[in-house]
C-alpha cells in the first residue's frame, strides 16, 4: 500500500499539478483581494480534466500556500490577503516598519508550515473520532463558541479597552446589514440590492487596513520610508530562535486551530483571532502586543493553517464542509468518485492516504517556495513609498471589484477606508470592527436558530452538556479577573501608602 500511495503521488501529472498550483497559490494569496477560497473556485474547471489525485493535489497545494501568501501583503503593505490573516496584520506590519519584514514573514511562514503539518497529523490519526465529536455541536454550542471568541479577543488592537469595545460594536452593527438574517428580511439596506448580501468583508477589510494606511501616508507628508527592510541574515536561523522561545504558543495555536477548523460552524477566521487573543491574554509580555511582537503572530499563524487541515475532517468523514474552501472541494470529491463518508477510509485507503500525503507535501514545499517569495516581495520595501502607494491603491480597487464583480464594493472599500482613517486618528482601532463583522452574523444566526428551535426558551442555552460547559468557561473568564481585582483591592491602597 505504501508503494501504491508513492506511485500515485510521484505520478508526473500529480507532480506537475503540485508545482503549478503552488505557484498559482502564491500569486492568489499575495495579490491583495484575491483569496484562498477564490483560488479553489478558479481551480474547479481545471479539475474537470484531471484524474482524481492530481485534481485534489491542485486544491490542497494552492490553498495551503495561498493562506500563507496572504500574510505577505498584510505584513509588507498592511493589506491582509484573507480574513484569517487580518488578526495579526497590524503586528507584522509594525515589525516591517522596524525593518524586520523578513523575520515577520519567516515567522508566519514557519508557523504556518508547522500548523499545517500538525493539522495533517491529526487528520491522519484521528479524523473519524474528531468528526464524531464535531457532530455534537449544534447551534447553541456554536453560539457559546462565538461568545468565547469575542471574550478572548476583547481588548486586542487598542491600548484603550473602551475604544476597542466601541469599534467592536461598530463591527457588530455593520454585520446586521443585509437579508442573510434568520428571518430573511432586508435590514439597513436602504433599498440597495448590492447591500442585500450584507457589507462584503474583503472590500471592507482592504479599505480599513490598506486605504487608511495610504491616507495616513498622504496626510503625514513624509516622502521617505520609515526604515529600509534590511535582509536580516538567515531567516531560518532567526525563526529557529523564535520557535525555541515560544514552543508552547505554537503548539497551543496548532491544537486550537485544528479543533476549531474541524467544527463546521466555526472555521479558520475565528481560529486565528481566538489564538491571537489567547496569546495576548496569557503572554508574559502583554504590553508588547500591537507594537510588532512576534509571539501572537506565531500562535495565530500556526492556528489558521492548522484550521485549514482541520476543516477537512468533517468534509472527508461526513461530507459536511468545515469552511468555504472544503465546501468547494466536496463537490470535486463527488465528481472524482471519491465520495466523502466513513467508507472512504476503508473502501479506498490508497486514495485517502494519497490525499494525506499531498497535505504533507504541500506544507513542506511551502517552506522553500515561501522563503523565495519573501526574498522577492521584500524588495518591494526598497521601492520609494510615493511610487508604491498609488500601486497599492490600484490593487485595493481591483481587488475589491474582483470579489463580487461589483463597483459598489469599490465604493464600500473607499468609504470604509476614509472612516477607518478618521477613527484611527482618534484612537479607535480598526481590527475589532473587522472581528465584529466576522462574528456578528454568526452570533445572531446561532442565537436566533437556538431560540427558534426551543420556541423562545432561554434555558435551552445551557440545557446541553457541551453548551453548559462552554457557558461556564465564558462566565469564568469574565468573572475571575473581576473577583481577583475585588479581593486584592486593599493591597494597591496599602502599597500606595508606602
For residue 56, give the C-alpha cell: 485534489
Asked if 443 is part of the footprint of another protein (rule: CB under 8 A), the reply reads no
* Residue in 2, 3, 125, 183 binding another protein, rule: CB under 8 A: 183
Quick check: 407 binds another protein (CB under 8 A)? no
Distance CA 252, CA 299 (A): 7
Decide: is 427 part of the binding site for another protein (CB under 8 A): no
What are the backbone angles phi and psi of residue 116, rounded to the nearest 5°? -60, -45
445 scored as a contact of another protein (CB under 8 A): yes
CB 370 within 8 A of CB 30: no
Residue 266 CB, nearest approach to another protein (Å): 12
Footprint of another protein on 38-77 (CB under 8 A): 38, 40-42, 44-45, 48
Q: Within 13 Å and on the Cβ side, how many CA atoms surround 416?
A: 31
| 384's grid cell | 520609494
Note whether 199 binds another protein by CB under 8 A. Answer: no
List, in sequence order, the alpha helices (H) in 231-322. Answer: 235-245, 247-262, 268-281, 294-310, 312-318
Question: CB-based contacts of 192: which residues, under 8 Å, 6+ apart?
Answer: 408
With respect to another protein, which residue has the nearer C-beta, 63 or 254?
63
Q: Using the rule CB under 8 A, which residue among 130, 328, 413, 471 binds another protein?
A: 328
- Interface with another protein, residue 418, by CB under 8 A: no
Residues 300-319 that bind another protein (CB under 8 A): 314, 317-319
Q: Binding to another protein by residue 94, rule CB under 8 A? A: no
Q: Which is nearer to another protein, 176 or 360 (by Cβ)?
A: 176
Cβ–Cβ under 8 Å, residues 199 and 70: no
- Of the candidate spans 158-166, 386-394, 403-411, 469-477, the one that interacts with another protein by CB under 8 A turns out to be 403-411
According to the 3-state scheme, what is the secondary structure of 22-91?
Answer: HHHHHHHHHCCCCCHHHHHHHHHHHHCCCCHHHHHHHHHHHHHHHHHHCHHHHHHHCCCCCCCHHHHHHH
246 binds another protein (CB under 8 A): no
Q: What is the DSSP string of 320-382?
A: --SSHHHHHHHHHHHHTT---SHHHHHH-HHHHHHHHHHHHHHHHHHHHHHHHHHHHHHGGGG
Please tell me whether residue 327 binds another protein under the rule CB under 8 A. Answer: yes
Total site size for another protein, rule CB under 8 A: 57
Stretch that binds another protein, among 206-214, 230-238, 333-341, 412-420 (CB under 8 A): 333-341
Stretches 80-88, 160-168, 240-248, 328-336: which one binds another protein (CB under 8 A)? 328-336
Express the helix, strand and coil content of the chain in percent, nearest 5 each: 75, 0, 25
Give the one residue of 74, 116, 207, 340 binding another protein; rule: CB under 8 A: 340
Window 363 to 392, contacts with another protein (CB under 8 A): none
Q: Is 193 in the site for another protein (CB under 8 A)?
A: yes
Q: Tell me the window of 62-70, 98-106, 192-200, 381-389 that interacts with another protein (CB under 8 A).
A: 192-200
Q: Minimal distance in Å, beta carbon 349 to another protein? A: 16
Query: How far is Cα 396 from Cα 390, in angstroms, rounded to an integer?
Result: 10
Are 171 and 435 a contacting pair, CB within 8 Å? yes
- Residue 178 bridge partners (DSSP): 187
Q: Interface with another protein includes 247 (CB under 8 A)? A: no
Closer by beta carbon to another protein, 469 or else 479 = 469
The residue ranges that bind another protein (CB under 8 A) are 37-38, 40-42, 44-45, 48, 135-141, 178-180, 182-184, 186, 193-194, 196-197, 264-265, 314, 317-321, 324, 327-328, 331, 334-337, 339-343, 404-406, 445, 449-450, 452-453, 455, 464
Amino acid at each position: 500500500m505504501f508503494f501504491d500511495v508513492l506511485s500515485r503521488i510521484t505520478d508526473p501529472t500529480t507532480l506537475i499539478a503540485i508545482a503549478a498550483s503552488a505557484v498559482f497559490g502564491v500569486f492568489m494569496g499575495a495579490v491583495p483581494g484575491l483569496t484562498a477560497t477564490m483560488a479553489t473556485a478558479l481551480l474547479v474547471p481545471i479539475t474537470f480534466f484531471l484524474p482524481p489525485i492530481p485534481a485534489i493535489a491542485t486544491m490542497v497545494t494552492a490553498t495551503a500556500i495561498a493562506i500563507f501568501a496572504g500574510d505577505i501583503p498584510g505584513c509588507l503593505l498592511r493589506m491582509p490577503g484573507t480574513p484569517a490573516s487580518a488578526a495579526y496584520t497590524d503586528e507584522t506590519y509594525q515589525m516591517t516598519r522596524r525593518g524586520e519584514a523578513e523575520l515577520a514573514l519567516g515567522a508566519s511562514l514557519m508557523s504556518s508550515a508547522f500548523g499545517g503539518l500538525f493539522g495533517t497529523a491529526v487528520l491522519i490519526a484521528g479524523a473519524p473520532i474528531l468528526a464524531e465529536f464535531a457532530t455534537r455541536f449544534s447551534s447553541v454550542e456554536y453560539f457559546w463558541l462565538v461568545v468565547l471568541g469575542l471574550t478572548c479577543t476583547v481588548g486586542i488592537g487598542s491600548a484603550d479597552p473602551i475604544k476597542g469595545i466601541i469599534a467592536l460594536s461598530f463591527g457588530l452593527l455593520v454585520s446586521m446589514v443585509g437579508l442573510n438574517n434568520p428571518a430573511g428580511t432586508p435590514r439597513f439596506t436602504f433599498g440597495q440590492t448590492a447591500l442585500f448580501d450584507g457589507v462584503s468583508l474583503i472590500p471592507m477589510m482592504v479599505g480599513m487596513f490598506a486605504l487608511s494606511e495610504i491616507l495616513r501616508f498622504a496626510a503625514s507628508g513624509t516622502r521617505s520610508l520609515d526604515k529600509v527592510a534590511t535582509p536580516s541574515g538567515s531567516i531560518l536561523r532567526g525563526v529557529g530562535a523564535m520557535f525555541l522561545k515560544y514552543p508552547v504558543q505554537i503548539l497551543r495555536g496548532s491544537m486550537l486551530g485544528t479543533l476549531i477548523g474541524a467544527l463546521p460552524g466555526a472555521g479558520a477566521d475565528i481560529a486565528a483571532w481566538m489564538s491571537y487573543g489567547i496569546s495576548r491574554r496569557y503572554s508574559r509580555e502583554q504590553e508588547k502586543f500591537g507594537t510588532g511582537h512576534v509571539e501572537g503572530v506565531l500562535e495565530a499563524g500556526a492556528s489558521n493553517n492548522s484550521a485549514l487541515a482541520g476543516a477537512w475532517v468533517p468534509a472527508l468523514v461526513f461530507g459536511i464542509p468545515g469552511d468555504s474552501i472544503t465546501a468547494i472541494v466536496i463537490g470535486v470529491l463527488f465528481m472524482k468518485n471519491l465520495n466523502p463518508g466513513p467508507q472512504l477510509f476503508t473502501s479506498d485507503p490508497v486514495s485517502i492516504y494519497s490525499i494525506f500525503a499531498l497535505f504533507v507535501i504541500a506544507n513542506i514545499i511551502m517552506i522553500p517556495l515561501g522563503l523565495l517569495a519573501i526574498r522577492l516581495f521584500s524588495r518591494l520595501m526598497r521601492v520609494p513609498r510615493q511610487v508604491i502607494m498609488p500601486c497599492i491603491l490600484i490593487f485595493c480597487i481591483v481587488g475589491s471589484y474582483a470579489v463580487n464583480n461589483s463597483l459598489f464594493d469599490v465604493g464600500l472599500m473607499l468609504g470604509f477606508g476614509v472612516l477607518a482613517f478618521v477613527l484611527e486618528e482618534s484612537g479607535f482601532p480598526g481590527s475589532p470592527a473587522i472581528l465584529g463583522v466576522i462574528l456578528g452574523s454568526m452570533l445572531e444566526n446561532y442565537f436566533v436558530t437556538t431560540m427558534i428551535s426551543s420556541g423562545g426558551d432561554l434555558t435551552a442555552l445551557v440545557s446541553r452538556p457541551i453548551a453548559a460547559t462552554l457557558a461556564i468557561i465564558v462566565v469564568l473568564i469574565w468573572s475571575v479577573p473581576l473577583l481577583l481585582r475585588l479581593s486584592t483591592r486593599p493591597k494597591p491602597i496599602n502599597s500606595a501608602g508606602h
